[in-house]
Amino acid sequence: MQPIVITGVGAISSVGIGKENFWDGLIAGRNGVTYIESFDTSAYRTHRGGEVKNFHPLPGTEELGRCSQFAIHAAREALADAGLDWSALPAFRTGLTLGTTLWESPMQEHIDDIMRTPGFAACRRRLVPLAVPEAIPANLGRALRLRGPVNLITTACAAGNYALGHAASLLRSETVDLMLAGGSDPISRIAYTGFSSMMAIAAERCQPFDRNRKGMVPGEGCAILVLERYDTARRRGAPIYAELAGCGISNDAHHMTAPHPEGRGAVRAMMRALAAASIEPGDVDYISAHGTGTPANDKTETLAMKQVFGADAARKPLSSIKSMLGHTMSAASALEAVACVLAVKRGVVPPTINYEEPDPECDLDYIPNQARELKVHIAVSNAYAIGGHCSSVVLRRVA
Amino acid sequence: MGKIVITGVGVVSAVGNSKQCFWEALRNGETPFRRITRFHTPFHPAPWGAEIVDFEFPIPVKPKQPWTASRCIQFAIGAAQQALTDAGLAPDQSNGSRSNGTEIGVVFGSTRSCLDLVVKLDQDAVERGPRTVDPLLFPDANPAAPSCRVSLHLGLNAFNTILSNGPTAGLDAVSYACRAIHDGLAPVVLAGGVEELTAQTFLFRDSMELVAEPGSCAPFRRQGVVLGEGCAVLVLEDEQHARKRKATILAEVSGYGTCFWPEPAGADDVWRAPEFAMRYAMAEAHISAKQVDVVFASANGDPCGDALEARALECVLPSAPHPALKASLGETHSAAGCLHAAACVMAIQSQALPPDRMVADAAAPGAEIPRPIRVGLVNCFSTSSSTQTYSSLVLRASELIQ
């Protein structure tokens, strides 16, 4: 079976727009969490988020929702990065699998705001079709003139990893030759209200695995990756970042919001991803943690790590870039996959910032505060979500 | 590569809440449309809809569990339970276990589900302040909620995925399930589609498209859409796994084709898109046009979409009958694919067809069918201004499986 490889990446995040700015931000340990400007937070308990400042939508996408604008921007970057001309893709052989948690929620809010005003009738036909979930992959499909399979996966905050897994599966089936996969989510009043209602938001900063961690911080962003089979990539002389060697998904089926206390789903997802890649746990060099900064997630994820890696767990470096970006929802796992392939390529792993006091229940090597030089042959990236979704992907260096 | 078979079907629909009632009503060409009064639709005062009114919820509604009141979640759990029972995979109640030991995955097509909860959450935050918002609302304010609740309620933990592709999502979920079985994620996968009627559903539709009276919904023949709701769940299974446990095989999933079309449905040559989807699905199933015994059409009374499909059918499958079930079920969006696939399974099982409404002098209900039904094609096309996606699925009688 042909390996599936990643040949291009595009990223939008609160620490930098574009692959290089994103990477520089991560390696510098830059904090992307700031006061939110896109909506009024005065009625909320907290006011900060990983908001992307100074994003300029591409010409022709101004009317679209921010989720689509992000995705089109990142997809164009990823295709150029892969050495492909976006206007001349093999249309029927190119597909898209995008993840999202709350789709065009800022546009939905605008509709909610004006729904009862007399002016709504006039703009309803323009606005509503653009605000529904299925419009997002379609906007991307239209912008890139795709004719292959176009999918939107809504497994909440793990959707980026699910998108990567589905894209790889379609490539293996040979119904397509090129896949765009990733996740996109804008920060919004709806997202902030939701996480706030669950008392999940930390007021100041995101401190994954720290003893004094106070919760997650909502963020926004997008990452798109270009995936191909190894033979097609080699044939066209494409640059190869890494192999998407395995993807494992699972569901806790335990509780709508709380992880299984022993991390049952998380362990299964990691084991499945490693098995799919024919890799022993001992061979893993770096783990990009889900690491949201909530008391429950970080403790459970640490427990899951110990079950998968056994006595080795303490020696396996892992970090959470959510400490810098906040939780970018479905974009999180896509951005983390980009961080992993860049780490594989460049021999540096990003830190967990805001890490001050070790927690006896989280006693692994979380790469505190400083990026670290590390030869990464194999990286694992975890993502979990509301609904019990658990996922892991394995990224492997290509010789 | 191993074959994927269907071993169970569950249906919650406006025409019936079991696969037998559903099929009988479709065969009789019932149109149970009613005036929607459950919620207010500002742009279409009391429109006609294919609303589910007599579904008995399998779970009690509890005020402290707001999700129990969500209709789409109830439809999904109801249909999934039926499907598991139909497949002989219902949990063993005697030992109190939630599962019967089989690894089962779940994938749903679901796009507008629970959108009303999102709007409620947002409006509560604006009108009464974000600190008053019920913390139990957010986890279910998402199209993923019905699928997640199915996994949670039935203890199905192999995996859970949701596709929010719009009207093709149900068929796309079936294809996803097949790929998941091939990839070894689980030997059994529930593939479903679910959608409910809410004020949001109607916000999207222009009043001119909606029918004036129930009898006037006649896809392919007359303009006018009726919106509907429902859920169908298919139990998809690795053939070897099904044979080993001596399950009844209802049909085989043998081909799937899908494409996106960047041009709007009204542009030139867009009928090539449904043509591509149908031909691709047939090629994957290794069947010729002559072998297709019935097409369950996507047509819903939208003149543009109906014309595209009619043109593509004329080109690809001019002689197969093509009943348009949306005349009975309404346009159920993400649920349509699985509802139609469930009908296709029933057609293969019962060797009967619903009336073909494209032909004015359609055969009366119960009329003899011209030839045995061994191969059925199911179409799901989206020609809205949001997305233009085209998916087709081929199902085949199990006795043809070698």
Per-residue pLDDT tens for A328-378? 999 999 999 999 999 999 999 999 999 999 999 999 999 999 999 999 999
B4-244 and B255-400 agree in CATH topology: yes
Q: Are the C-beta atoms of B287 and B296 separated by less than 8 Å?
A: no
Helix or strand holding residue A145 (H, E): none
A101 contacts on B by Cβ (under 8 Å): 142
d(CA A194, nearest CA chain B) in Å? 5
Instruction: Answer whether A253 sits within 8 Å of B162, measured CB to CB.
Output: no
- Catalytic residue, candidates A73, A260, A327, A389: A327
Residues of chain A with confidence (pLDDT) below 50: none
Look at strands A4-13 and A242-251 and give their pairing.
antiparallel
A195 contacts on B by Cβ (under 8 Å): 138
Locate the chain B residue with the closest alpha carbon to A135: B386
How crowded is residue A78: how many other Cβ atoms within 10 Å of its Cβ? 27
d(CA B351, CA B42): 44
Long-range contacts from B88-91, C-beta under 8 angstroms, 24+ separation: B88/B7, B88/B8, B88/B245, B88/B247, B88/B248, B89/B7, B89/B8, B89/B188, B89/B235, B91/B154, B91/B155
Task: Determine the pLDDT at residue B274.
Answer: 98
| B360 — pLDDT class (breaks 50, 70, 90) | very low
Whether the complex's predicted ipTM is more than 0.90 is answered with yes
- Using CB atoms, pick whichever of B139, B164, B204 lies closest to residue A257: B139
Q: Express each pLDDT in B334-352 by its tens digit.
A: 999 999 999 999 999 999 9
B151 contacts on A by Cβ (under 8 Å): 251, 253, 387-388
- Using CB atoms, pick whichever of A138, A147, A251 lies closest to residue B387: A138
Instruction: Answer whether A154 sits within 8 Å of B143, measured CB to CB.
Output: yes
Give the residue from B324, B380, B329 showing the smallest Cα distance to B354: B324
Instruction: Answer whether A197 sits within 8 Å of B133, measured CB to CB.
Output: yes
- Across chain B, mean pLDDT equals 92
Q: Is the pLDDT of residue B358 over 90?
A: no
A272 contacts on B by Cβ (under 8 Å): 185
A137 phi and psi angles, rounded to 5 deg: -65, -30
Asked if A166 is an active-site residue, the reply is no
d(CA B223, CA A252): 46
pTM: 0.97
- Using CB atoms, pick whichever of A100, A141, A196 lies closest to residue B130: A196
Of the residues B65, B138, B334, the best mutation for testing chain A's interface (the one with the most A CB atoms within 10 Å of its CB) is B138
Q: Amino acid identity, residue B53?
A: V
B139 contacts on A by Cβ (under 8 Å): 198, 256-257, 386-387
Asked if A327 is an active-site residue, the reply is yes
Locate the chain B residue with the closest alpha carbon to A153: B163
Q: Are the C-beta atoms of B88 and B245 separated by less than 8 Å?
A: yes
DSSP for A34-60, written as a single string: EE--SS--TTSS--EEB---S--PPTT
Query: From residue A62, how far is each of A54, A57, A65, A110, B261 by CA, in Å?
Result: 14, 6, 8, 16, 21
d(CA A229, CA B106): 27
Q: Express each pLDDT in B288-334 by its tens digit.
A: 999 999 999 999 999 999 999 999 999 999 999 999 999 999 999 99
Q: Is the pLDDT of residue B97 over 70?
A: no
B91, two tokens: 């949990």
Kindly state whether B383 is in contact with chain A, defined as any CB-CB distance less than 8 angstroms.
no
Kindly state whether A63 is in contact with chain B, defined as any CB-CB distance less than 8 angstroms.
no
- Using CB atoms, pick whichever of A135, A249, A252 lies closest to residue B185: A249
Task: Determine the pLDDT at residue B402.
Answer: 42
Asked if A340 is an active-site residue, the reply is no
- Using CB atoms, pick whichever of B164, B180, B258 lies closest to residue A154: B164
Instruction: Answer whether B111 sits within 8 Å of A133, measured CB to CB.
Output: yes
Task: Determine the pLDDT at residue A125.
Answer: 87
B64 contacts on A by Cβ (under 8 Å): none
Instruction: Answer whether A129 sits within 8 Å of B144, measured CB to CB.
Output: no
Give the residue from A335, A298, A301 showing the smallest Cα distance to A206: A298
Taking domain B4-244, whether its CATH number is 3.40.1710.10 is answered by no
B130 contacts on A by Cβ (under 8 Å): 43-44, 192-193, 196-197
CATH class held by domain B255-400: alpha beta
Kindly state whether B261 is in contact with chain A, defined as any CB-CB distance less than 8 angstroms.
yes
Kindly state whether B39 is in contact with chain A, defined as any CB-CB distance less than 8 angstroms.
no
A141 contacts on B by Cβ (under 8 Å): 260, 262, 387
Q: Where are the beta strands (DSSP E) in B114-229?
A: 160-163, 188-195, 227-228
Q: Is the pLDDT of residue B99 over 70?
A: no
Instruction: Answer whether B203 sits within 8 Å of A124, measured CB to CB.
Output: yes
Kindly state whether A160 is in contact with chain B, defined as any CB-CB distance less than 8 angstroms.
no
- Using CB atoms, pick whichever of A130, A162, A194 lies closest to residue B161: A162
| B363 — pLDDT class (breaks 50, 70, 90) | very low
d(CA B126, nearest CA chain A) in Å? 9
Query: From residue A159, how far is each of A98, A181, A223, B262, B318 by CA, in Å?
Result: 8, 10, 12, 24, 41
Q: Express each pLDDT in B64-93 by its tens digit.
A: 888 998 999 999 999 999 999 999 999 766
Q: Is the pLDDT of residue B398 over 90?
A: no
Where along chain B do its domains lie? 4-244, 255-400
Give the residue from A15, A23, A10 showing the smallest Cα distance to A73: A10
Locate the chain B residue with the closest alpha carbon to A142: B262
Locate the chain B residue with the closest alpha carbon to A130: B386
B156 contacts on A by Cβ (under 8 Å): 251, 253
Task: Determine the pLDDT at residue B330.
Answer: 95
d(CA B379, CA B204): 22
Q: Is the pLDDT of residue B370 over 80?
A: no
Domains and CATH numbers, chain A: 4-396 (3.40.47.10)
Report the largest interatomic distance among the alpha carbons of chain A, rounded to a whole angstrom: 65
| B244 — pLDDT class (breaks 50, 70, 90) | very high
Q: Express each pLDDT in B10-66 by its tens digit.
A: 999 999 999 999 999 999 999 889 999 888 888 888 899 999 999 988 888 998 888
Give the residue from A146, A123, A308 showing the smallest Cα distance to A224: A146
Kindly state whether B259 is in contact with chain A, defined as any CB-CB distance less than 8 angstroms.
yes
Task: Determine the pLDDT at residue A272.
Answer: 97
How crowded is residue B43: how many other Cβ atoms within 10 Å of its Cβ? 16
- Using CB atoms, pick whichever of A130, A151, A265 lies closest to residue B163: A151
Locate the chain A residue with the closest alpha carbon to B132: A197
Kindly state whether B198 is in contact with chain A, defined as any CB-CB distance less than 8 angstroms.
no
- Using CB atoms, pick whichever of B130, B163, B262 lies closest to residue A193: B130
d(CA B178, nearest CA chain A) in Å? 11
Of the residues B68, B128, B148, the best mutation for testing chain A's interface (the one with the most A CB atoms within 10 Å of its CB) is B148
Question: How many residue pairs bridge chain A and chain B with CB atoms within 8 Å of each other?
Answer: 219
Q: Which chain B residues in 311-340 lie under 8 Å from chain A, judged by CB atoms?
A: none
Kindly state whether A311 is in contact with chain B, defined as any CB-CB distance less than 8 angstroms.
no
- Catalytic residue, candidates A290, A362, A389, A390: A290
